Amino acid sequence: MRALIVDDSRFVRDYLRGLLEEKGIECDEAADGQAGLTRIHDSEEFDLALLDWNMPVMGGLDMLKNLRAEGYHEVKVMMVTTEAENDFILRALDAGADEYLMKPFDSEALSEKLAMLGLEEI
Amino acid sequence: MDELTREFLIESQEGLDRMERCLTDLEERPQDTELLGEIFRSVHTIKGTTGFLGFKRLEKLAHAGENLLGLLRDGKLQANQGIITGLLQLMDGLRAILRVIEQAGDEGGGEDGALIERLNELQQVDAVAVPVAMSGAMAVKEAEAPMVHRAAPPVAIAKPVVEVAAASPVAREEAAPAADAPKTRTTAASDSTLRVDVVLLNRMMNLVGELVLTRNQILQATSADPNLTLLSRRLDMVTADLRESVMRARMQPVSNVFSKFPRIIRDLSQALHRKVRLVMEGQETELDKSLLEAIKDPLTHAVRNSLDHGIEPPEVRVAAGKDAEGVLKLRAYQESSHVIIEVSDDGAGIHVEKVRNKAIERGLITAERAAHLGERELLQLIFLPGFSTAEAVTNVSGRGVGMDVVRTNVEKIGGKVELDSRPGKGTTLRLRIPLTLAIIPALIVRSLDQSFALPQGALSELVNIPPDKVATAIEWMDGAPLYRLRGKLLPLVFLDRMLSPAGGSKTREAKDHFIAVLDADGRRFGLVVDGLADPEEIVVKPLSSVLKQVGLYTGATVLGSGDLALILDPGSIASRAGVSMRAEEERGSRQGEEEEVLSMSTEFLLVEAAGRRAAVPLGEVLRIERIPLSRIEYFGYRPVLNFEGQLLPIEDSGGVIAAAEGDLEAQLTVVVCREGQRHVGIAVSHVLDVAKGGDLFEAGTQQAANGVTLLKEQVTGIVELRQVPPLPVTGVAQSMETWSSVPEGVA
């Protein structure tokens, strides 16, 4: 299984990668929505994309909208948000997000959400 | 500290650095949504990530900041001075906590209640002023704001590259054109740079150093074998390239240091009520990371000085016919193997009289001695420990640490400090920094049958004295050796005597002597050695503590021959020899006083020519004339003065005329003297005094040293009238005829 982590914070990318790889999920990263889209265009299929909300160049919501508009429906999208962005979750779900994860989170919280998507393998 | 926490700290610092840059710009463009978005994101990221690590205090502060920034970003609040100041305080607060985490591993027990309250107040007060409904529905609607960032500026592209300390210049160049192709640009930037641990870079640098040493040895060992020469030459080239690359990897643009000045200047100009415009040039100039660290404080001090002492308050500037707004310029550029960093202002310049008075008041120099110093020497007093020209001690500068610290810090890393100041026009401080510390060009010298390395940076020239000239060329003044270099006295230090007071001098006169003329600590002296070898690029190795105690060496190195050589520290040699030089001077002066009683003493006219003292035998002086510079004419290349119908040759070895060139209103003082049958004029800046001079005696003899005298406890050169060449006869026969019989009217 492959996941794409899109977040402008290196810290968050490293943290997420650590947790996901522990669970046997292969990871790729991008630092903004634009780069995230490019990754998806260029690479083999991703099963999951974890998108930060607020990023330079292109935010997570726009990346999600673009992704769905371009016909990538099979990629599961999990919005990774902070409390401040929580009010917007409904809009993300409207735009085609599958799940959301609130920062800060730990391994357990991530597992729960992955399980909701039917993705956790271990 | 674990890897993730370190990552978090670095990322947060970088975010705050970005925030700082944006805040400065925000003052000029308070409604720039891109800037506001960027600032918001910096704080937002800190808030978002700190939760993972459980830093509650940091989270709380960042949260308060985020709320305020959210309103600004969404246009519900207008940025004003109060808000920008609040945001700067927020930035400082966040930085302070990050520092504590970095040092202690946790947040410590600090309290940010007041700052958080202030940030909340800023939201409240202005929210009233700009009444916008803040219902949840509204907030959702406003959330379109992130869309704005689609049009994020190229700044966002350059960022990941700048973040990476190890970014090679090539990668940077690639990143720039990539910005034109939006599709690929981000990928290009993040793929072409890496973060590299500085410890690893340092290790690489050390290994390259070892490689350079080995290369030097191989080059020497293989020079006889034609088969190996080609190979070793190739090794030489590859090593040089590799060294260059590793050095480049350690380079950072000076903008890393410059970027904090807009903030400092903003705060200072408010505190000091100055209007200042900051101009920065050459921010892309690169410098070794450790050197960049080392100049941070000296540079900050220089900038503070410029604001505090240089740039005048607006009303003073206007009264002086200047623009109310002063200009402070930071400029960096590379000059061969040095990077020059200039801090210049268009302020009042340095008042040399104030400097003189302050130095006397502080007991740094006697009033008598100060009276004899020229402008250039007076400026140098600023670098003395304990000197400060601030009339009132402010909390900005004048805190006891001063320019002496600036100079010491810069010289510690092998750099130099130069100061230029023009009254009413401004001051320029120039820091001359070597590109790298680890590998330096050096001249290998021999003394006591050992090799020593002399850093090229301090070396200004080399003088050879053949065996038969040694006895006459080196003059002795009460045990202190001097050499006359182009008419100027150069104090000498014998390396062998300094290193081994017992040995050395026996065979002194029978061999070649080499003088390395060195500049260190603002002093020029000649280091006498037995021999010179080739210049080499040497790798500086730290010294063992035993050798460090000797104090004359900065390090050691392995030479191409495989020999070990100690690296001499010209500054330490100067100060150690300087102690004895001063001692000699005192002894000399005491002896001078005795001689004054015992034997004849000559009276001298003490003059100053372009900052240098000189003595003219009073008996030969006919008169002293003050004339406008425009009266000087030229006969060939020689300056002459039409003096009461006669041509008077002007001796200008002090360069007074040249210094005043171009200034139409300059006045010149000419001391008219008698020399045998003719008269000559000596161009001087000032006449200082008439004083009795003590003859100086060569050690152990009764023969007075030629050409110098002791005036007011200072060794002073005597102007040799006989050495002023006569004017050529051809072409001015008319004038020359009258030359030999100058009328008495001149006197």
- Put simply, the answer to whether A91 touches B140 (Cβ < 8 Å) is yes
**Amino acid letter, B525:** F
Burial of B488 per CB tally in 10 Å (0-12, 13-18, 19+): exposed
Contact B187 A38 (CB under 8 A): yes
pLDDT at A16: 93
Count the neighbouring beta carbons within 10 Å of the beta carbon of residue B329.
Answer: 17
Rg (CA), chain A: 13
- Closest by Cβ to A15, choosing from B4, B70, B140: B4
What distance in Å separates the CA atoms of residue A119 and residue A113, rounded to the nearest whole number? Answer: 9
User: How many Å apart are CA B584 and CA A102, to the nearest integer?
Assistant: 79
H/E run at residue B482 = strand B480-485
Dihedral angle, C-alpha B317, B321, B326, B330, nearest 10 °: -130
d(Cα B58, Cα B43) in Å, to the nearest integer? 10
Distance CA A56, CA B153 (A): 9
**Testing the interface with B: which of A57, A86, A102 to mutate, by most B Cβ within 10 A?**
A57
Of A8, A30, A59, the CB nearest to B45: A8
Provide the token pair at B422.
Answer: 């023009």
Helix B182-191 with B155-163: angle, nearest 10 deg: 10
> A34, B186: Cβ pair inside 8 Å?
yes
> Collapsing DSSP states into helix, strand and coil, what is residue B287?
strand
Compute the radius of gyration of chain B from its Cα atoms: 33
Contact call for residues B742 and B678 (beta carbons, < 8 A): yes
Distances (CA, A) of B16 to A11, A98, B43: 15, 33, 8
> Which pLDDT belongs to residue B159?
34
CB contact under 8 A, A9 and B48: yes
Residue B85 DSSP class: H
- Residue ranges of the domains in chain B? 3-153, 198-250, 253-350+389-434, 440-579, 599-746
Answer whether B66's CB lies under 8 Å from B47's CB.
yes
Mutation for testing the A interface, residue in B1, B13, B52, B74 having most A CBs under 10 Å: B52
The answer for residues whose C-beta is within 8 angstroms of residue A40's C-beta and 6 or more apart is: A4, A46, A49, A67, A72, A75
Measured in angstroms, the CA of B376 and the nearest CA of chain A are apart by 54
- Contacts for B381 with CB less than 8 Å, ≥ 6 apart: B355, B356, B359, B364, B365, B373, B387
pTM of the model: 0.43
Find the closest chain B residue to A88 by CA distance: B140
How many beta carbons lie within 10 A of that of residue B675, not counting itself?
Answer: 16
Give, in order, the Cα–Cα distances in Å from B84 to each of B75, B233, B247: 15, 60, 39
Q: Which DSSP helix (H) or strand (E) runs through B471?
A: helix B470-473
**Which superfamily, per CATH, for B440-579?**
SH3 Domains (2.30.30.40)
Please name the amino acid found at residue B110.
G
How far B117 CA lies from chain A's nearest CA (Å)? 19
DSSP string, B564-630: EEEEE-HHHHHHHHHHHHHHHHHHHHHHHHHHHHHS--EEEEEEEETTEEEEEEGGGEEEEEEEEGG
Give the CATH superfamily of B253-350+389-434.
Histidine kinase-like ATPase, C-terminal domain (3.30.565.10)
Residues of chain B with C-beta less than 8 angstroms from the C-beta of A56: 37-38, 41, 149, 152, 156, 159
Cβ(B525)–Cβ(B515) below 8 Å: no
Of B4, B146, B150, the CB nearest to A54: B146
Q: Where are the alpha helices (DSSP H) in B179-307?
A: 182-191, 198-222, 226-249, 255-258, 261-272, 289-305
Q: What percent of chain A has pLDDT over 90?
A: 43
Q: Hey, are the CB atoms on A87 and B139 less than 8 Å from each other? A: yes
Q: Which of A5, A6, A10, A16 has the most B C-beta neighbours within 10 Å, making it the best mutation to test the interface with B? A: A10
> Shortest CB distance from A57 goes to which of B4, B7, B186?
B186
Q: Which residue of A has its CA nearest to B139?
A: A87
Average pLDDT over residues A38-58: 89
The nearest CA of chain B is from the CA of A12 a distance in Å of 7
ipTM of the complex: 0.77
Contact (CB<8Å) A56/B11? no
- How many CB atoms neighbour CB B586 within 10 A? 12
Bridging pattern class, strands B531-539 and B523-529: unpaired
Chain A residues interacting with chain B (CB cutoff of 8 angstroms) = 8-12, 14-15, 18, 30-32, 34-35, 38-39, 53-59, 61-62, 82, 84-85, 87-88, 91, 103-105
The H or E element spanning position B642 is strand B638-643
Per DSSP, B745 falls in state: G
> Under a CB-based contact definition with an 8 Å cutoff, are residues B331 and B464 in contact?
no
Whose structure tokens read 């892309």? B284
> What would the DSSP string read from start to end of B512-550?
-EEEEEEEETTEEEEEEESEEEEEEEEE-BPPPHHHHHH
Q: What does the H/E/C string look like for chain A?
A: CEEEEECCCHHHHHHHHHHHHHCCCEEEEECCHHHHHHHHHHCCCCCEEEEECCCCCCCHHHHHHHHHHCCCCCCEEEEEECHHHHHHHHHHHHHCCCEEEECCCCHHHHHHHHHHCCCCCC
pLDDT tier, A20 (very low <50, low <70, confident <90, very high otherwise): very high
Side-chain-side CA neighbours of residue A31 (13 Å)? 18
Contact B140 A88 (CB under 8 A): yes
Q: Which has the closest alpha carbon to B476: B584, B599, B592?
A: B584
Judged by DSSP in three states, B491 sits in: strand
Closest CA to B489 of B498, B479, B476, B478: B476
* Separation between Cα atoms, residue B490 and residue B509, nearest integer Å: 19
Are the CB atoms for B115 and B90 separated by under 8 Å? yes
The list of chain B residues with pLDDT below 50 reads 126-190, 390-400, 506-507, 579-601, 698, 700-703, 729-747
How far CA B95 is from CA of B16, B20, B167, B207, B348, in Å, comes to: 8, 11, 25, 35, 36
How far are the Cα atoms of A51, B574, B665, B711 from residue B654, in angstroms, in the given order?
75, 25, 20, 18
**pLDDT score recorded for residue A62:** 92
Q: How far is CA B587 from CA B369, B494, B584, B593, B714, in A?
A: 17, 20, 5, 10, 12
Which residues does chain B have within 8 Å of residue A32's beta carbon, measured at their own beta carbons?
Answer: 156, 186
Closest in A31, A39, A61 to B146, CB measured: A61
What pLDDT does residue B5 have?
86
Shortest Cα distance, chain A CAs vs residue B60, angstroms? 13
| CATH class of the B3-153 domain in this structure | mainly alpha
Residue A24 backbone class (left: φ over 0; alpha: ψ -120 to 50; beta: rest): left
CATH architecture of B599-746: Beta Barrel (2.40)
CA distance B132 to B138: 9
Alpha carbon B362 to its chain centroid, in Å, reads 24
| pLDDT value for A102 | 87
Chain A and chain B share a number of CB contacts under 8 A equal to: 95
Round to whole Å and give the CA distance between B426 and B422: 6
Which residues of chain B are at the A interface, by a Cβ-Cβ cutoff of 8 Å?
A: 3-4, 7-8, 11, 37-38, 40-41, 44-45, 47-49, 51-52, 66, 70, 136, 139-140, 143, 146-147, 149-150, 152, 156, 159-160, 182-184, 186-187, 190
d(CA B714, CA B735): 40
Check residue B140 and give its pLDDT. Answer: 36
Cβ pair A32:B186 closer than 8 A: yes
Distance from the A41 Cα atom to the nearest Cα atom in chain B, whole angstroms = 11
A58 neighbourhood in chain B, CB within 8 Å = 149-150
Give contacts of B152 with chain A, Cβ < 8 Å.
56-57
- Check A9 against B45: CB less than 8 A apart: yes
Residue B111: which region, alpha, beta or left (left: phi > 0; alpha: psi -120 to 50)?
Answer: beta
d(CA B15, CA B38): 9
Which residue in this structure is represented by tokens 């035993």? B546
DSSP state of B697: B
User: Is residue A104 reached through a cis peptide bond, with omega within 30 degrees of 0 on the bond before it?
Assistant: yes
Say which CATH architecture domain B198-250 belongs to: Orthogonal Bundle (1.10)
Structural domains of chain A ordered from first start: 2-111 (3.40.50.2300)
Task: Tell if the CB–CB gap between A11 and B52 is shorter than 8 Å.
Answer: yes
Q: How far apart are CA B57 and CA B110, in angstroms?
A: 8
B562, B478 in Cβ contact below 8 A?
no
Buried (b) or exposed (e) across B511-529, using 16+ Cβ within 10 A? eebbbbbbbbbeeebbbbb
Q: What is the pLDDT of residues A75-117, one digit of tens each?
A: 999 999 886 666 777 788 888 888 888 888 888 889 888 988 8
Q: Cα distance from B262 to chain A (closest Cα, Å)? A: 24
Question: What is the reported pLDDT for B746?
Answer: 40
- The Cα–Cα gap between B80 and B646 comes to 74
Burial of B262 (0-12, 13-18, 19+ CB in 10 A): middle
**Contact assessment for residue B459 and residue B518, using Cβ atoms and an 8 Å cutoff:** yes
Rounded Cα distance, B157 and A31, in Å: 11
Q: Is B489 helix (H, G, I), strand (E, B) or coil?
A: strand
- Residues B409-450 have pLDDT tens digits of 787 777 788 888 888 888 999 998 877 666 677 889 988 888
Which DSSP state fits B696? P
Distance CA B592, CA B695 (A): 6
The candidate with the shortest Cα–Cα distance to B734, out of B617, B595, B635, is B635
